[in-house]
Structure 1
Amino acid sequence: MDGSQGEFGFESPIDPSAVRRFLADNPEFLKGDDGLLAELGLTVATSNVVEFAPMARVHAAHQREAEQRQLLEETARANFAAQAQTHGAVVDLLDARNNSDLARRVDELARTRFGLVAGVIALECENLPPAGWRPLVEGQVNLLLDGPRRMSRMGVVRTAFGLFDEAVGPIASVAMVRMAIWEPSRQGLLAFGSADPEGFTPDMGSELIALLARVVERTAERWPLP
């Protein structure tokens, strides 16, 4: 007596090779039993393919994690590069020799360090501002920033496109940060222009540009206006 009680009813341990041979000879046995497939976590993808659903889900989850990790790494590298460029820009601004040179350096770092169209310093004043600065009328800073309480504004602000000389090329988006320079303080703006409509968007953080604005304020205070 061999101990067998049927095709798979063994009193002795089941021989895996026998099970393998049976499934190979009778493929419809597994594919036709939905309950058994469900218990094993398998699905029939086509008439000839049995899909390991849990393994497929794990693979998809790992792929999503890898994509998210890659996105985070790319964002971190971009942030690190932006911070490094900003720190270099701070050193450039601190080396300015006068207010005119300060404006030139702002425009130069915008183009060479950040790949933008232009950078400008604008000032509300009754008389002409320092050479290279853009003149503004009283209250214009609040209008451009859309309110007296706003410290910065980023995005497609068409009223701000006039801050930039037409000769530099088309402006599609801007970043602006409020400044208060000298005593008594005069309202001004540090503004950067991009040729890309998505170059600056309202949801972007303005911390790095605000840092540059503070540096411009402190540097310009070396040469107060009469």
Structure 2
Amino acid sequence: MSADTPDTLQPSLDLERIRAFLVEHPDFIREDAELFAQLAAQPAEGGVVDLGSAAREKLLTELRQLKALNEGIVETARANLAIQAQIHSAVLALLEVDSLAGLDRKISNRLTGTLGVDVCRILIEGHAPLKSAESILGAGDGSVADILGEKVERLGPVNTDRAHEIYGQHGSRMRSEAVVRLDFNGRDGLFALASRDPHLFQFGQGTELLNFLARAIERLILQWMHHSDH
């Protein structure tokens, strides 16, 4: 019988079809646990494509990527929970005050320590509600627009042109800041946090908790301002 009879060609044709199928559907091996284990256990021979090794390497790469992604998500979640706890603790502490002067002192000391910042300022355009204050201060008309423009908030490097106006004698040492617009019954105001750490506040950071704190302080100040008017 000739060496090129159909009986001898059939196995070769079948192997070619199998190979073509596996090349087109590489996940077929990876998703078949038993087949994957068999191929992974077989050493590659010279000139032969080690499909098991290739599939295993691909799987390991994907697993490493998933592990790194998972670790990043967990780390971010932990950081967010820590910040959330800080904000909640700060708000609870501020709720304990019994006067606007007490709120001013609490913001200057307890709030800055809880949040890990160096300076905290609340500016109110055209009104200085306290004769002597550390943090709740008056500001000239148009100051907020000059500092924030049309923005509601801004995070990033300190604006050196406005640093002294906002932070006073501490301004020259501040490197990053978070500034949020406030509204005191029609009076523009702002809530500003600053740090000597240039990386503490950066563009693109989430601001939900920062805005929650700003709104809480805004309402507390309005409450005491209202009391002082009567």
TM-score strictly above 0.5 = yes
**1:15 aligns to what?**
none
For the Cα contact (< 8 Å) 1:153–1:175, is it kept in 2? yes
Judging changes above 3 Å, is the alpha-carbon distance between structure 1 residues 76 and 160 closer, same or farther for their aligned structure 2 residues?
farther
Deviation track 1:7-51 (CA, whole Å, cap 9, x = no partner) reads xx9xxxxxxxxxxxxx99xx9xx22x2xx31xx426xxxxxxxxx
Q: Distance in 2 between matches of 1:90 and 1:110?
A: 9
Where does residue 47 of structure 1 map in the other structure? none
**2: CA distance between counterparts of 1:59 and 1:110?**
47
Structure 2 counterpart of 1:187: 188
| Structure 1 residues 143 and 156: alpha-carbon distance in aligned structure 2, compared to 1, 3 A threshold | same
- Confirm or deny that 1:87 pairs with 2:99: no
Corresponding residue for residue 134 of structure 1 = 137
Aligned-pair CA distance for 1:87:
1.0
Structure 2 counterparts to residues 1-226 of structure 1, below 5 A: 30-31=45-46, 33=47, 36-37=48-49, 40-41=50-51, 52-125=53-126, 128-130=128-130, 131-132=133-134, 133-147=136-150, 150-158=151-159, 159-162=161-164, 163-167=166-170, 170-182=173-185, 185-224=186-225, 226=229
Are the structure 2 counterparts of residues 160 and 80 from structure 1 closer, same or farther at C-alpha, using a change threshold of 3 Å? farther
Give me the whole-angstrom Cα distance separating, in 2, the residues matched to 1:109 and 1:160.
Answer: 25
- Cα offset for 1:124? 1.0
**TM-score (norm. length: structure 1):** 0.72
Between the aligned partners of 2:195 and 2:124, the Cα distance in structure 1 is 21
Decide whether the 8 Å contact of 2:178 with 2:194 is kept in 1: yes
- DSSP-derived class of the 2:67 partner: helix
> Which residue identity lines up with residue 141 of structure 1 in the other structure?
V
CA contact (8 A) 1:103 1:120 kept: no
| Preserved contact between residue 155 and residue 177 of structure 2 (Cα < 8 Å) | yes
Q: Distance in 1 between matches of 2:216 and 2:201?
A: 21
What's the offset of the Cα at 1:168? 8.1
**What's the CA shift string for 1:94-123, capped at 9, x where partnerless?**
122222222222232443212111111111
Paired with 2:177 and 2:222, the residues of 1 have a C-alpha distance of 25
RMSD of Structure 2 on Structure 1 (CA): 2.5
Structure 1 residues 111-152: Cα deviation after superposition (integer angstroms, max 9, x where no partner): 3212111111111126x44222233210110111122xx221
Higher percent of residues as helix: 2
Kindly, what percent of the aligned residue pairs are identical? 27
Determine the C-alpha separation between the residues in 2 that align with 1:168 and 1:114: 18
Unaligned runs of 5+ in 2: 1-10, 12-41
Distance 1:134 1:82, change over 3 A: same
After superposition, the C-alpha distances for 1:34-82 in whole angstroms (9 at most, x for unaligned) are xx31xx426xxxxxxxxx2221221121111111101100100110111
The verdict on how the C-alpha distance between 1:169 and 1:92 changes in structure 2, with shifts beyond 3 A counting, is farther
**Structure 2 SS opposite 1:107:** helix
CA distance in 1 between counterparts of 2:174 and 2:156 reads: 11
Q: How far does residue 203 in structure 1 lie from its aligned partner after superposition?
A: 0.9
Aligned CA distance change for structure 1 residues 191 and 85 (closer, same or farther; 3 Å)? same
Shift in Å, 1:167:
4.5
* Cα displacement string for residues 161-204 of structure 1 (whole angstroms, at most 9, x for unaligned residues): 2211334872111111111124xx32111110022222112211
